[in-house]
Structure 1
Amino acid sequence: MPTISWLSLAWCSLPVIVIGIIYARWSGNRSEILMASARMTLQLVGVGYVLVALFNNPSPWITSGVLALMICAASWIAIRPVRHHQGFLKPAFIALAVSVSVHLAISLLLVMGVDTWYEPRVIIPLAGMYFANTMNAISLAAERYHAELHEGKDEHKARLTAFQAAMIPQINSLLAVGLVALPGMMTGQILSGVSPLIAVRYQIMIMTMVLGAGGIGAALMLWQLGRHYRKKSLVGMPVEKNDEQP
């Protein structure tokens, strides 16, 4: 696989500049696209150096610390649509921790059969994919659940609608894979010289684990929010459309 030099990578700025110009003219915001792209580049370069250090010095404590940091960041990002309301951060943290931990265990121990669970070059990329997709599912579920209750919908119906909304991207990705697009992990393996048939096996593992982690994460999130809602109703506290609690 050919190595991309930093000088060659500079050509990637062309689409960013074009989209930045269009975005600036249509929205009036001249810096958002450029700032986001610059932040992405700095974050990835920084993570690259961190991963090199982690790969050279594997440690269960350091790996656990990285995973804990990922859970905290993913939880905070997941509740972004409802961050101005109370009662969402703790359920998001629990849902992410439980769901992703279970699916990492299945992937590492049962599917891949690794000898060292804390091997950074294995667990961190997998955890990143699982956290990112579960985070999005939880975010969609929380936003839709709150919106449905705010509109006066029944709690059971709100929970069902929220879960269905959270699963739309998961199901779409299953339907599109192989026909519309080749997923990132599979593409990366093929570009690096791995046989497509081997890359397919890894991608099937990723897709099924992402589906399970996202679905269970959203279900756990909604279950906790539903418990809180019902408990609040039983003690006689008012549940209004404009209430800050979910």
Structure 2
Amino acid sequence: MSQTVAPIPMINLAIAFIPVLLVFVVLIRWTMDWQKALIAVSRMLVQLLLVGYLLSTIFAAEQAGIVMLVMLVMVGAASWIALNTTTFNRKNLLAQTFLAILVGGGVTLALVTQGVIQLDPWFQPSYMIPLAGMIFANAMNCISLAVERLHNELQHGVTFDKARIAAFQAAFIPQINALLAVGLVSLPGMMTGQILSGVSPVIAAQYQIVVMCMIFGSAGLSTALFLTLSKAQFTKTATAL
């Protein structure tokens, strides 16, 4: 098996956008909001190309301070985006969200990188940053779902304790589904990438088990911490309704 992944020529990369264009045809014909989808696809393209070059520079530098700064920026962005779907004033919850993702995700990241993989050096960027991205992104999604459900429950007069349980359960539906489907319905990204790069499927499966546990644990811890830290803000809002 080949030990490297071949680069994709730009002309070949353009072929991947054919299904995207077909979706835009559907959006336009059905008079849906295609402009928002266009902005999202454009941002994806620009952001991924830029981050590719940026990460190449960071990996080459191998400086702990730069890696930590990048991860703090990631946590900040995840915290802001997590509150994007709620009508609640996100500024009132930003600190709680940041702390929840930082602690819940950070503890899990430290456990995996230092206890399981045992990075050397401990901040090895090629491992630390991608793993941090997976952790913070999933924590962000869980908190986003929890915020929306919690707010809706409180608006319907449900007590905070019951609303918190409903919010946590709703936030964890994608996580549970992912665990049930892995290996049967889908081969997750990291496992697929390792297999494509020539790694043994057994070793790839071991790493994917670590990733699934990492994602499940960090998302749960971050969401639980957020629901605990934000109780005062949501209770105050519920009282005002």
Per the normalisation by structure 1, the TM-score is 0.91
Structure 1: how far apart are the matches of 2:189 and 2:143? Answer: 22
User: Is 1:93 the equivalent of 2:98?
Assistant: yes
User: Is 1:141 the equivalent of 2:146?
Assistant: yes
User: Is 1:124 the equivalent of 2:151?
Assistant: no
The amino acid across from 1:14 in the alignment is I
Match in the other structure for 1:198: 203
2:180 to 172, 175, 178: 175
Match in the other structure for 2:240: 240
1:222 to 218, 221, 227: 227
Deviation of the 1:224 alpha carbon: 1.2
Structure 2: how far apart are the matches of 1:82 and 1:132? Answer: 17
Unaligned runs of 5+ in 1: 242-246
Deviation of the 1:38 alpha carbon: 1.8
Structure 2: how far apart are the matches of 1:84 and 1:179? Answer: 38
1:165 to 165, 170, 174: 170
Is contact 2:154–2:238 with CA below 8 Å preserved after alignment? no
Across the aligned residues of Structure 1 and Structure 2, the Cα RMSD in angstroms comes to 1.6
Deviation of the 1:238 alpha carbon: 7.9
Structure 1: how far apart are the matches of 2:121 and 2:238? Answer: 51
Structure 1: how far apart are the matches of 2:158 and 2:240? Answer: 11
The number of equivalent residue pairs is 236
The amino acid across from 1:51 in the alignment is L
Match in the other structure for 2:68: 64
Unaligned runs of 5+ in 2: none
Alpha-carbon deviations, 1:56-77, whole Å to 9, x = none?
A: 1111111111011101100000
Deviation of the 1:94 alpha carbon: 0.7
User: Is 1:4 the equivalent of 2:8?
Assistant: yes
Is contact 2:93–2:233 with CA below 8 Å preserved after alignment? no
Match in the other structure for 1:39: 43
Match in the other structure for 1:210: 215
Deviation of the 1:229 alpha carbon: 4.8
Structure 2: how far apart are the matches of 1:224 and 1:238? Answer: 16
Structure 2: how far apart are the matches of 1:13 and 1:207? Answer: 29
Structure 2: how far apart are the matches of 1:10 and 1:229? Answer: 46
Alpha-carbon deviations, 1:78-134, whole Å to 9, x = none?
A: 011225425211111110000111011111111001121221101000000001100
User: Is 1:81 the equivalent of 2:85?
Assistant: yes
Deviates more, 1:172-181 or 1:36-45: 36-45
Deviation of the 1:138 alpha carbon: 0.6
Match in the other structure for 2:107: 102
Structure 1: how far apart are the matches of 2:139 and 2:232? Answer: 21
Alpha-carbon deviations, 1:223-246, whole Å to 9, x = none?
A: 11224456x5xxxx98133xxxxx
